[in-house]
Amino acid sequence: MKEQLRELMKDKKRIVIKIGSSSLQHPETGDLDYTKLDVLVRELCDLRNRGKDVVLVTSGAISVGRKAMMMKELEGDNPIAVKQACAAVGQARLMMTYQKIFAEYNQVAAQILMTKNTIVDNLNRFNAQNTFAELFKLGVIPIVNENDTIATYEIGIGDNDTLSAIVASLVEADALLLLSDIDGLYTDDPRQNPEAKYIEVVEELTDELMNMGKESTGSAVGTGGMNTKLQAAKIASNMGIDMVIANSQDIKVIHRILDGRNIGTLFLAHRNEKFDLPLYVQQMHK
């Protein structure tokens, strides 16, 4: 049964892949890990060459900007404004790096910066969907990030996990892959509890499962813990999208998962026609 569920990943035509800040940087220095970036881009381009639509949701703008400005800490009288300034510097640098590597594989990439209003406002949402649709027609890989330079509430949440689920819903994706610093979902935090049991497949997101993630936190660089990943799973499942959480230590897990290998925790989709995504997003940060 589990093998059959994994086999279905081979048929996915439109995939959203999220990778976090901690997965893109050397832990010793905080500088970008170009080896990982190169492998990531190669994996995405290969999926595109298979005829699949691909979207990358990437973190890292604030930390890249901080390194560029040689700031050890985010100092200043207004920490939110400092983060926004770092994001403005870092977003351009991060995108320039991506563009260079994508060009080596003859692949065109595009940048899309989103805010909560992109989803909540009907016209903005419609325009965003049209933009994505046209980029897919052109064979372009969209690279998405939250617009940290103007949207203060996103910085406070630090949640590209949820953003990636929203993007997957917006583009009507078949699958969402969350690459993180953990192998998947456990019954408890495995970094603190050696007795924690690994969960291969989540057939239904129960209240008990949702509560399991509330005490977990992410790494020092990434700001999303297991709670944000379960929130992403809730959105994806309700919107009819299968989701996998997997470890980003080896970026090549991307093609292995989509080849049907049993890697990471698979969250099965249960489309809910009554689920109102704009309303859910609007209420998220209240």
Give the domain CATH number at 138.
3.40.1160.10
The residue assigned the tokens 């969250």 is: 267
pLDDT at 267: 96
pLDDT at 242: 97
Burial readout 24-52 (b: 16 or more C-beta within 10 A, e: otherwise): bbeeeebebbeebbebbbbbbbbbbeeeb
Element (H, E) at 105: none
| Mean pLDDT to the nearest integer, 164-172 | 95
26: helix, strand or coil: coil
**Domain enclosing residue 225, as ranges:** 2-284
- State the pLDDT confidence band at 224, using cuts at 50, 70 and 90: very low
From CA 46, how far away is CA 255, in angstroms rounded? 9
From CA 286, how far away is CA 284, in angstroms rounded? 6
Helix and strand counts by DSSP (H, E) for the chain: 13, 10
pLDDT in tens, 244-267: 999 999 999 999 999 999 999 999
- State the pLDDT confidence band at 209, using cuts at 50, 70 and 90: confident
Split into its structural domains, the chain has a count of 1
**Helix-strand-coil percent breakdown of the chain, rounded to 5?**
45, 15, 35
Q: Using only the alpha carbons of the chain, give its radius of gyration.
A: 18
From CA 241, how far away is CA 269, in angstroms rounded? 5
Q: Parallel, antiparallel, or unpaired: how do β-strands 141-146 and 109-114 relate?
A: parallel
Burial class (CB in 10 A: 0-12, 13-18, 19+), 16: buried
Q: What amino acid occupies position 67?
A: K
